[in-house]
Amino acid sequence: MEFKIEATCPHSQARAGEIKTDHGTIPTPIFMPVGTVGSVKGIHQRELKEDIDAKIILGNTYHLYLRPGLEILGKAGGLHQFMGWDRPILTDSGGFQVFSLAGCRKLSEEGAKFQSHIDGSRHLFTPENVVDTQRIIGSDIMMALDECPPGTSDYSYARKSLDLTKGWLERGWKHFNETTPLYGHSQAFFPIVQGCVYPDLRKEAAAHVAGLGAEGNAIGGLAVGEPAEKMYEMIEIVNDILPEDKPRYLMGVGTPVNILEAIDRGIDMMDCVMPTRNGRNGMLFTAKGIMNMKNLKWADDFSELDPEGETWVDHAYSKAYLRHLFVSGELLAMHIASIHNLGFYLRLVRMARKHIIHGDFKDWKEEMIVTLSRRL
């Protein structure tokens, strides 16, 4: 994997760059749609490519390990072949999913023991077998196994959690360097900076991660219950330490405002389920603000969903029609809203990139966060 910075912006840490992988080039900053089980929920792969031009998507090691399972993925030749996707894929290690199973998992130096949410069967993730699993999945970028502590964790828990994550990282990094890809394309390994909301822990974790010299680095454990301002503070602390010549991935974040604030602080890559999850529940993100499409006010509004939009849904359907679909319980409503929101997020990062290159990102961002916070 190669990364180069093409432009930076005055009065901001924002940068425009380019990540080259064997499955394609990714312009940064970039938003990555979440395809947890090998599918971006409700969106066809053709639409991801042709309608919203997603340059990279995510898969999840935990979910893919459980279903369809490693035997099927191996026989298929990896996730790219299995799902018919020829662009880059990033896989999360499953650490966050195991974190969410608080009642049915046990963490130790060995790894994470957990029960499947599907059938209750018991499994063990170790730093080594998570690398092996991601070799079988064949993602272009794989993540280290980590623990994601809640944003409200006390210092004692956050300290123990970070020690566990650092130990796992050393083993995962070693195993990654002792193994090779299975399908003829290269794979990168991103370590993850944890440390909850404690500056000294974040600094320690960032220095440890930076010292490995991996091809890219990630920041995890944010947007998990802590205030947004605390999240931004942690990003600034970590990015002061992470190398500038490697891509920085902020995991699981977030709202359009969160994304612009993260880019302003030097983040290159982001992902979140919010565009599709909120879309399925009737929330649309637009260039004018946020709309709840179930509200009565849209019942006779025949204007386009988002006149400034670039995806096919923006010009094909009216607000009144989409509200009608939601009120009627039609599946098409969730599809239209999901692809609209993904299109909006990808358009937002493209606009951010353009303003970084033009040198006026900071002023543009300050105007945009006011608009994007507005409820229509």
Asked about 92 being catalytic, the answer comes back as yes
**Cα(first)–Cα(last) distance of the chain, in Å?**
42
> Which position among 140, 146, 271, 306 bears the catalytic label?
271
Amino acid at site 261: E
> Do 13 and 265 form a contact (C-beta atoms < 8 A)?
yes
Contacts of residue 347, defined as CB under 8 A and 6 or more positions apart, other chains included, come to: 309, 310, 311
Instruction: Please state, in angstroms and rounded to a whole number, the distance separating the CA atoms of residues 321 and 298.
Output: 9
Helix (H, G, I), strand (E, B) or coil at 90: strand
> Which position among 92, 264, 268, 314 bears the catalytic label?
92
Tokens of 187: 């794979």
Instruction: Please state, in angstroms and rounded to a whole number, the distance separating the CA atoms of residues 306 and 328.
Output: 22
CB neighbour burial string for 304-325, b if at least 16 within 10 angstroms, e if fewer = bbbeebebbbbeebebebbbbb
> Do 249 and 270 form a contact (C-beta atoms < 8 A)?
yes
Asked about 301 being catalytic, the answer comes back as no
By annotation, the residues acting in catalysis are 92, 271
